[in-house]
């Protein structure tokens, strides 16, 4: 439970930190997103109900801090990110057996892919509202860029979070027990 | 699937349904509430970022000093640190003096604000300022600097507000061109293609024939932006099938904003 609370705190601080991380001009102004990496790690490390709670919390924060209400219209409804995080974290949770066997690489790559999927979903939703579906090289890079960065930073974050889990004596691993 | 999983899914679904049912007003209130809760973190984060940037610039000076002898190195470092500190103070004094002058000579009632955070999302261009309802800021108030229009407030909480920049596709401003009777709508671009964004001025007549460097001002139509605020200068003009379109360079350097003013009315 301590580990779960720590994850909630980390998600909050990561979400705030994202405001202060500058965009990467050499990667078509791609943003750096840390929160998805933490949420997807939580999806592997936490039991199903807590994974859903984490997805709910992270999605709500994302909606509250990014979605804009302009001229009395909401482009992306509150709750959309909860749904996105819920579905993607659910898929990640399904890959737990691999994680239990120590295959982190798959999850690092999946974290990146899912981060890009969140950005893509946001783009498709605002495009649906604003019209004119445009897919230029810049758009692709702004979608793929955060994913590539997530893949690059995921091993560090996974290692850090694994270390925190050990420090807090967190040991949820039914698959690992079964494997042993 | 175990009973616990089903119960968890049902609770998740119920909460999700509740949030999805939010209308624009509820969403705005919810956003304002969350921003108000996070205001202390955003404000201290802004200060921390400034400190880190300052330390980083100090380290650069140290690297340069490594090539000099040890005695001079110490002395030089002290002098540089003092000088850097004075330069920061001088820069701030100049900046504030400039802002104060602008506020005094402006025809508008202005509230000075500092930018504490920039947009954290890919598809929206916003900044967060350290002024809110308690300072008299309300939704849909124009935000300017002494050089021109910045954008308008969208979500306002007690102590901080979100400003939608004119470089956002959703920020539409009725505009007119200096020295002509042409009027159009200025909006930003969906994509950030460079550090300096460009603006589109749409719905011009085909005969507009605008020349580079012509100035574009708010026309006052629409009610949000008062007339006479400089938006930018014409970069290029092209004739489309139904209308003319100009690309504008914003008057304000939106990527390096530090201080802004919220326009609350006319004096």
Q: Which chain B residues contact residue A52 at CB under 8 A?
A: 8-9, 11-12
CB contact under 8 A, B19 and A136: no
Return the residue of B nearest to A77 by Cα: B20
- The domain defined by B173-252 folds into Thrombin, subunit H (2.40.10)
Measured distance CA(A138)–CA(B210) in Å, rounded: 28
Q: Which one of B42, B46, B154 has the shortest CB-CB distance to A70?
A: B154
Provide the number of CB pairs (under 8 Å) joining chain A to chain B: 141
- pLDDT reading at B47 higher than 80: no
What is the tens place of the pLDDT at every residue in B143-173? 998 888 999 998 898 889 999 999 988 889 9
Q: Which chain A residues contact residue B17 at CB under 8 A?
A: 79
Measured distance CA(A44)–CA(A51) in Å, rounded: 8
Q: Which chain B residues contact residue A119 at CB under 8 A?
A: 122
Q: Which one of B5, B23, B120 has the shortest CB-CB distance to A18?
A: B120
Q: Which one of A19, A67, A142 has the shortest CB-CB distance to B122?
A: A142
Structural domain count of chain A: 1
> Domain containing A112: what range?
34-169
B208 SS3 class? coil
CB contact under 8 A, A79 and B122: no
Delimit the domains of chain B by residue range. Answer: 173-252
Mean pLDDT of chain A: 86
Mean pLDDT of chain B: 83
Question: SS3 letters for B101-132?
Answer: HHHHHCCEEEEEEEEEEECCCCCCCEEEECCC
- ipTM of the complex in this document: 0.83
What is the tens place of the pLDDT at every residue in A19-48? 888 888 888 888 899 999 999 999 988 888
Kindly state whether residue A9 falls inside one of the protein's structural domains. Answer: no
pTM: 0.79
CB contact under 8 A, A56 and B49: no
Report how far apart, in Å, the C-alpha atoms of B10 and of each of B2, B15, B158, B186 are: 13, 9, 35, 46
Q: Which one of B17, B118, B155 has the shortest CB-CB distance to A19?
A: B118
Measured distance CA(B150)–CA(B255) in Å, rounded: 11
CB contact under 8 A, A67 and B170: no
Q: Which chain B residues contact residue A123 at CB under 8 A?
A: 122-123
| DSSP category for residue B249 | E
The shortest C-alpha distance from B27 to chain A (Å) reads: 7
Q: Which chain B residues contact residue A138 at CB under 8 A?
A: 191-193
What is the tens place of the pLDDT at every residue in A99-130? 777 777 888 899 999 999 999 999 998 888 88
The shortest C-alpha distance from B171 to chain A (Å) reads: 8
Measured distance CA(B153)–CA(B136) in Å, rounded: 12
CB contact under 8 A, A29 and B192: yes
Q: For a pLDDT cut of 90, what percent of chain B falls above it?
A: 23
Q: In the numeric block, which tokens belong to residue A119?
A: 């950005």
Q: Which one of B12, B121, B170 has the shortest CB-CB distance to A66?
A: B121
Instruction: Give the model's confidence band at B60: pLDDT under 50 very low, under 70 low, under 90 confident, else very high.
Output: low
| DSSP category for residue B133 | G
Kindly state whether residue A22 falls inside one of the protein's structural domains. Answer: no
């Amino acid at each position: 439970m301590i580990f779960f609370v720590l994850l909630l705190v980390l998600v909050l601080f990561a979400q705030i930190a994202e405001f202060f991380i500058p965009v990467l001009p050499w990667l078509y102004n791609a943003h750096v997103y840390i929160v998805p990496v933490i949420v997807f790690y939580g999806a592997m490390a936490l039991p199903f109900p807590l994974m859903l709670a984490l997805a709910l919390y992270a999605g709500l924060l994302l909606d509250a801090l990014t979605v804009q209400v302009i001229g009395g219209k909401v482009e992306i409804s509150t709750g959309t990110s909860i749904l996105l995080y819920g579905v993607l974290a659910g898929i990640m949770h399904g890959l737990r057996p691999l994680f239990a066997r120590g295959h982190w690489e798959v999850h690092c790559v999946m974290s990146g892919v899912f981060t890009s999927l969140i950005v893509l979903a946001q783009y498709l939703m605002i495009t649906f509202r604003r019209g004119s579906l445009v897919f230029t090289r810049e758009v692709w890079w702004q979608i793929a860029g955060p994913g590539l960065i997530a893949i690059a930073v995921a091993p560090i974050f996974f290692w850090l979070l694994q270390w925190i889990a050990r420090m807090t004596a967190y040991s949820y691993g039914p698959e690992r027990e079964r494997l042993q | 699937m175990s009973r616990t999983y089903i119960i968890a899914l049902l609770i998740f679904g119920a909460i999700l349904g509740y949030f999805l049912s939010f209308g624009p007003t509820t969403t705005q209130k919810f956003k304002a509430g969350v921003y108000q809760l996070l205001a202390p973190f955003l404000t201290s984060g802004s200060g921390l970022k400034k400190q880190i940037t300052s330390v980083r610039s100090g380290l650069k000076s140290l690297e340069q000093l490594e090539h000099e002898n040890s005695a001079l190195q110490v002395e030089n470092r002290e002098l540089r640190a003092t000088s850097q500190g004075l330069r920061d103070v001088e820069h701030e004094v100049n900046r504030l003096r400039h802002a104060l002058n602008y506020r005094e000579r402006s025809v508008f009632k202005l509230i000075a604000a500092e930018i504490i955070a920039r947009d954290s999302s890919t598809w929206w261009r916003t900044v967060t300022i350290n002024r809110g309802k308690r300072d008299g800021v309300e939704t849909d108030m124009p935000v300017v600097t002494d050089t021109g229009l910045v954008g308008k407030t969208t979500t306002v909480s007690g102590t901080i507000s979100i400003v939608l920049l004119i470089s956002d596709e959703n920020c539409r401003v009725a505009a007119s061109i200096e020295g002509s009777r042409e009027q159009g709508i200025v909006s930003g671009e969906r994509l950030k293609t460079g550090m300096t964004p460009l603006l589109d001025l749409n719905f011009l007549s085909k005969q507009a024939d605008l020349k580079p460097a012509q100035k574009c001002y708010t026309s006052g139509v629409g009610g949000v932006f008062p007339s006479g605020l400089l938006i930018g200068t014409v970069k290029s003009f092209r004739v489309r099938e139904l209308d003319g379109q100009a690309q504008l360079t914003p008057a304000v350097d939106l990527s390096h904003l530090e201080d802004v003013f919220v326009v609350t009315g006319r004096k």
